[in-house]
Structure 1
């Protein structure tokens, strides 16, 4: 699936060319339409590939990161977030339906949904398909339709819902209750995919039965169907050959992104002809290390957009003395690649240039170090009083960097089109879902066991016993903390806080940029103004309250 192409408008024109004495004649022998092209097995398969295309407009893209990562307890705006797009994190009065990010996501998901509807509705009438291929194609399309609707209802609440292909111009829309979309769309679509898709896909990146079970486990957790969420998540952990990697850090080895822990990922490629805008994840969590006099921009350290900065809560969430996920998630040391001077001392290429630590260091020690020694004194990271050698200093330009997305294989130091695959579902999340679902059913011993699988992998060598928990350690706060440690920056957090009813409370407690503004209305996003403007029944299809 590395080369999924989004261009399926095929027009065939035969031109008869004769000698100079002849008249030029154009004879169109075929003008491909959806009716003609999707009526063949090859055409329908191409139509299915087009259903995958919107995945690359969400996973690994700035719009989706802004709507899932900041504005939570874990991330706030870095320097680039403040200077470019502060309103989403801050829940400011300027976060309106005119925001380009909500528009992009809305439009692309509805394109994907309509394409899925076309494939699903046309597949039964295509001659020459084996029944196995017919049900596989429908199953993949129904999974993707369910995924797109799942994001839409979580982000926007009641939205327009249709399981039929739209042909021609449609000028009306209707808000369908979230409950109906789950019951008539998302859940049955995923159940169909589970029943009809293979355990292993013929091509890596295609939807499979375990990916469908995993997504439905997420859905059932969101709906509060605890027993079913546990059953599905547990099935993914036990029923296939997925395995947790021994090292948490190795999950993010760009040369091993098709590893045994990946249940399903969105594919990118090193080929610029098929990679499009690429996976841009590598841009958003970095800070501007080039302000250091001994470092110039290079491929290993990345191009810094500085959008998202860890909050105090996230920095304090880990115990680096026993939990490998601090070191496995964050880049905290940079090395010089240029000769320079720091604190009056000469620094040569290869020497330490920047060191960030999640604890306080005496100022005298910092001022004598032959590198930037950036510490954490637990002052709010966005405070104007933060000094340059503290996390959050330099106007939010100094902070630990999520390194899960760093892409040193880009074509140049300024390239934004990363080639790393984006992991959408991985095995560790299934243990976390099963653990939370078991806890919700008061199955405390089983719940602790699920969490301990993940925590054992996360333990530093010799610290495995210290990382184990018991039933008495379990609470909603622990579960959210553990999900934060394992999944930081992976586009889950806003959804986690919303589904657990903790978005307002935790943002007010831990994100001081957003705390003054966040309200109940912010449990959904504004519907794009372009959508409101283009319907002819605006009295029925209204903006979400408060926007």
Structure 2
């Protein structure tokens, strides 16, 4: 009888505590509760910039070594040497490092956009700015990717990235355009940033990149003919005219 009584007491205790234990852990950050604060949101956004920091040499080599602007001093059979000979091998270290960096940045941007959009604890001002930065950077990475590789996988949510196929060039540019227009609408003017935040994506940066995108898109896409080409040139001028608040030094 005592054994049965103890069993009943233990069962009641477990049942009564189950609701109070079913909470999001507050002692550490988990995927389900991050970001919580404005500082978390800023840290999450900062990570999207990181892949761009380490590819300056590789990116410059891929652009310049295929022209007469720069001559490689590397072994002709090395990554730089082969680029100088206009040989683009899929195993080239410069090519693979840039591809990887772009998609790490895109993945980080997707993660930030999705998580910040669902957050109920991050302030609206930081949420708006951070999503604007994320969409700017996603557009930035795709802008280079579509120029290097043409049709590339267009992944906007990381859960959709598995077994994806390449999107058309016009689809990629259309997404870049959409991201940059949204970024321009939501990012602050550069003058609004504190000194410690200078260098972040701003409204002017979004319009400037959008202007470049329209110029490149107009000259590389055959869809729509002359009508579409002239429309993109006009949009490039409009975007460029929206870059205000700067002065030459």
Q: TM-score, normalised by structure 1?
A: 0.36
- The equivalent of 2:65 in structure 1 is 70
The answer to whether 1:57 aligns with 2:70 is no
Higher mean C-alpha deviation, range 48-57 or range 226-235: 226-235
2:209 to 215, 231, 239: 215
- The equivalent of 1:179 in structure 2 is 170
Listed as ranges, the matches of 1:98-117 within 5 Å are 98-117=91-110
CA contact (8 A) 2:132 2:183 kept: yes
Alpha-carbon displacement from aligned partner over 1:74-124 (angstroms, at most 9, x marks no partner)? 3333x34647421112123xx311111111111111111111111111112
Alpha-carbon displacement from aligned partner over 1:446-467 (angstroms, at most 9, x marks no partner)? xxxxxxxxxxxxxxxxxxxxxx
| Bigger fraction of residues in helix | 2
Query: Structure 2: 5+ residue runs without aligned partners?
Result: 1-24, 219-231
1:232 to 211, 227, 239: 239
Alpha-carbon displacement from aligned partner over 1:472-492 (angstroms, at most 9, x marks no partner)? xxxxxxxxxxxxxxxxxxxxx
- The equivalent of 1:138 in structure 2 is 131
The whole-number CA distance in structure 1 between the counterparts of 2:116 and 2:148 is: 30
Distance verdict in 2 for CA 1:130–1:32, change over 3 Å: closer
- The equivalent of 1:16 in structure 2 is none
Instruction: Give the total of aligned pairs.
Output: 207
The whole-number CA distance in structure 1 between the counterparts of 2:117 and 2:166 is: 29
Distance verdict in 2 for CA 1:126–1:41, change over 3 Å: farther
Alpha-carbon displacement from aligned partner over 1:107-152 (angstroms, at most 9, x marks no partner)? 1111111111111111122223332221111100000000001111
Listed as ranges, the matches of 1:475-486 within 5 Å are none
CA contact (8 A) 1:143 1:190 kept: yes
CA contact (8 A) 1:121 1:165 kept: no
2:184 to 191, 194, 204: 194
Listed as ranges, the matches of 1:241-280 within 5 Å are 241-243=246-248, 245=249
| Bigger fraction of residues in strand | 1
- The equivalent of 1:96 in structure 2 is 89
Distance verdict in 2 for CA 1:194–1:81, change over 3 Å: farther
The answer to whether 1:41 aligns with 2:38 is yes
- The equivalent of 2:221 in structure 1 is none
CA contact (8 A) 1:40 1:128 kept: yes
Query: Structure 1: 5+ residue runs without aligned partners?
Result: 1-27, 246-547
The whole-number CA distance in structure 1 between the counterparts of 2:89 and 2:53 is: 24
The whole-number CA distance in structure 1 between the counterparts of 2:143 and 2:246 is: 27
Distance verdict in 2 for CA 1:141–1:81, change over 3 Å: farther
The whole-number CA distance in structure 2 between the counterparts of 1:86 and 1:214 is: 33
SS in 1 for 2:64: coil
The whole-number CA distance in structure 2 between the counterparts of 1:147 and 1:160 is: 15
Provide the aligned C-alpha RMSD in A: 2.1
Aligned-residue offset at 1:189: 0.5
Alpha-carbon displacement from aligned partner over 1:496-543 (angstroms, at most 9, x marks no partner)? xxxxxxxxxxxxxxxxxxxxxxxxxxxxxxxxxxxxxxxxxxxxxxxx
CA contact (8 A) 2:38 2:123 kept: no
1:157 to 150, 167, 179: 150
Listed as ranges, the matches of 1:437-448 within 5 Å are none
Q: TM-score, normalised by structure 2?
A: 0.76
SS in 2 for 1:113: helix
Distance verdict in 2 for CA 1:83–1:163, change over 3 Å: closer
